[in-house]
Structure 1
Amino acid sequence: MTDPTNRLLIDGHLDLAFNAGLGRDLTGTVGQLRAADPVPDQLATVTFPELRQAGLRVCLGTLFAAPLTPTMPGGYTDAEGAHAQATAQLDQYHRWQDAGWIRLLTSGAEVTHHIAESEAPLGVVLLMEGADPVRSPDDLAWWVERGVKIVGLAWGATRYAGGTDAPGPLTPAGRDLVKAMQELGVTLDASHLDDASFWDAGDLGPRMIASHSNARALVPGNRHLTDDMARAIATTGGVIGLVYLSRFLRAGIPDHQRVPLEALAEHARHYAELIGWDHVALGTDMDGGFGADKTPLGIESYRDVPSVLDLLPALARAGVAGGNWARWLQENL
């Protein structure tokens, strides 16, 4: 396996504060979390000591407000409820920072300085996943002042856009929000956007990434990117992060069937053939509603994440591991 001491590892998508809101203590070992996990149906893979053991230096850490669903009875039902969830998660990141577990990064210069410090805590760049916490486009500046520089409009459907399994275009408010993002220098995370919303947003010309999206050419469904979507993201200079969920890697498999790690490498190679290795990165989502029982074979906890690098061309490994995200963050944050 690639030596972690010689690797810059950056993850484009972790739901750290959301997990804390579920009652998970991320300050101990994975073993300690598994022994007392309040989320018993997901075999935990992510804690701060585990991330350090893996060599993770920076991640995009989400503000993810969960809507009301049968499996999320405490979810939000309106913009104020979404705003309250996201601000509570923002407070959690600041508590972790005060305790020395993380460092919040809000500029390219800060990213450059941070990755030069070998003993620094985990660097976290805030990413809003699903824009309902932005109560109106005029509210966006409030979030930007608090360090949010990347926003995904959708998860499922939101007030702004169609999303995963919820087809639909940008709403009028969604168009206004994309324009406000452009004015404030906020990047659009295209992950979870439905096709119609993706192309509506793309027509407005925002800077785009996909923090955690696999290739629809290999797995059908609007959760994944078409080849044309991948090209559009790359055209803006964006990077695409690969998700470590088995059913996002092979089509038609049962939810609990694990796939070979080679399936993840296939998605990486597919993107590379389309847009080049400079736009391919990691967006594991390893704490995003699934556990080790649904990751590729050989990924038993987060420290195994870099294993996929050994299946990629040697010259591509450093970029996929973290170099491509580092470059993008330094240039665009």
Structure 2
Amino acid sequence: MLIDGHLDLAMNAVDGRDLTLPLDTLRAHDPVPGQTATVSFPELRAAGVRVCFGTLFALPHSAASPAGYTGPQGARAQALAQLDVYHRWQDQGHVHLLPDAAAVAAHLGDPDAPLGVVLLMEGADPIRDASDLPFWVQRGVRVIGPAWGRTRYAGGTAAPGPLTPAGHDLVTAMRDLGVTLDASHLDDAAFWDAAQIGPKLIATHANSRAFVPGNRHLTDDMVRTIAQADGVIGLVLLNRFLHPLPEGSLERVPLATLAAHAAHYASLVGWNRVALGTDLDGGFGAEKTPAGINRYRDVPQVLGALPEAARPGIAAGNWARWLTTHL
């Protein structure tokens, strides 16, 4: 059994991928150029994935993404379109949306259930302001990462900065409503601002800055702070997040490098804080995954590079414990 802390399922559907297809069929007609797909619902089932954190990801405007949002309404429209995708999938029996700890526990007890999905908003720009948070909670969002790059709420990846005043209000509202904060993309200053406010805290997909420089990755002190909040950290299967490589590199990094990130985290906070957050098909394809990971059903090979005693927890047990305690 596997639990994955981060999959951009609806984003891929909006991009035209039919995740209900067997992976080989999807690949034969893949509408996303230059990124060989690794994820589909049959593929996840073949790999043993029972639950994942499924994102609502609004893509901001940039030179590379001219159709991205330029303001809150555009971000909101993207997130609502993806939310509709998850509900359509649920209506069709492909997924089961999991709103709380009891639902997760019941789902894990049913081996015949479809893929369980916990809704995660990656980048908070779809939220108008803190008073809008209940709208998203009522629709099932249980985890929010305030930033991706820079947002109205926080500095993020390659965009240094603290929480903005609106970010302070949002994180405070998250704390008060029991919504978990995903620290994966927060800049250092924003991370420490958020940690001081005191929401529930995890990192769904973040590797160690001890091996790869840059504010996309966690410092040792950040790791310890997440652990002190009883949080869990998911490991990302992107080559340049495992070893310092230029963006666009197709070098295949060995699984031993991923194992080194996991062992470093364990040396700081214990193996019970380490999990999977693969981010597969999260804007990259099989060309940029570690050696031997050419499709999702290869993910269990990751476990073979890890200490035997730690494997059940990293595969599913650590996320299962967190979800059934804190969601």
Q: TM-score, normalised by structure 2?
A: 0.99
Partner of 1:309: 303
Partner of 1:322: 316
Alpha-carbon distance in structure 1 between the residues aligned to 2:109 and 2:36 = 33
Partner of 1:271: 265
Pick one of 271, 292, 298 that aligns with 1:298: 292
The alignment status of 1:64 with 2:57, answered yes or no, reads yes
Alpha-carbon distance in structure 1 between the residues aligned to 2:196 and 2:15 = 38
Deviations 1:267-289 (A, max 9, x none): 11010000001100000000101
Alpha-carbon distance in structure 2 between the residues aligned to 1:103 and 1:140 = 22
Partner of 1:215: 208
Alpha-carbon distance in structure 2 between the residues aligned to 1:199 and 1:301 = 36
Cα deviation for residue 188 of structure 1 reads: 0.4
Matches for 1:116-265 after TM superposition, within 5 Å: 116-252=109-245, 255-265=249-259
Alpha-carbon distance in structure 1 between the residues aligned to 2:165 and 2:249 = 36
Pick one of 278, 281, 301 that aligns with 2:275: 281
Q: SS of the residue aligned with 1:315?
A: helix
Q: List, as ranges, runs of 4+ consecutive aligned residues in structure 1 with deviation greater than 6 Å.
A: none
Alpha-carbon distance in structure 1 between the residues aligned to 2:165 and 2:117 = 32
Q: SS of the residue aligned with 2:156?
A: coil
Deviations 1:279-316 (A, max 9, x none): 00000000101111100000010001111111111111
Alpha-carbon distance in structure 2 between the residues aligned to 1:114 and 1:272 = 28
Partner of 1:88: 81
Q: Which runs of 5+ in 2 are unaligned?
A: none
Cα deviation for residue 34 of structure 1 reads: 1.1
Q: TM-score, normalised by structure 1?
A: 0.97
Q: SS of the residue aligned with 2:299?
A: helix
How many residue pairs match? The answer is 326
Choose 308-317 or 319-328, whichever is displaced more: 308-317
Alpha-carbon distance in structure 2 between the residues aligned to 1:252 and 1:331 = 37
Alpha-carbon distance in structure 1 between the residues aligned to 2:219 and 2:5 = 19
Partner of 2:103: 110
C-alpha contact (below 8 Å) 2:124/2:144 kept by paired residues = yes
The residue type paired with residue 75 of structure 2 is A
Pick one of 23, 28, 37 that aligns with 1:30: 23
Cα deviation for residue 225 of structure 1 reads: 0.2
Q: Which runs of 5+ in 1 are unaligned?
A: 1-7
Choose 58-67 or 70-79, whichever is displaced more: 70-79
C-alpha contact (below 8 Å) 2:239/2:245 kept by paired residues = no
Alpha-carbon distance in structure 1 between the residues aligned to 2:157 and 2:173 = 23
Cα deviation for residue 203 of structure 1 reads: 1.1
Choose 157-166 or 201-210, whichever is displaced more: 201-210
Cα deviation for residue 27 of structure 1 reads: 0.7
Deviations 1:223-265 (A, max 9, x none): 0000000000010000000000011101235621111111111
Alpha-carbon distance in structure 1 between the residues aligned to 2:106 and 2:198 = 30
Among all aligned residue pairs of Structure 1 and Structure 2, give the percentage whose two residues are the same amino acid: 66
Alpha-carbon distance in structure 2 between the residues aligned to 1:71 and 1:161 = 22
Alpha-carbon distance in structure 2 between the residues aligned to 1:324 and 1:287 = 23
C-alpha contact (below 8 Å) 2:271/2:310 kept by paired residues = yes
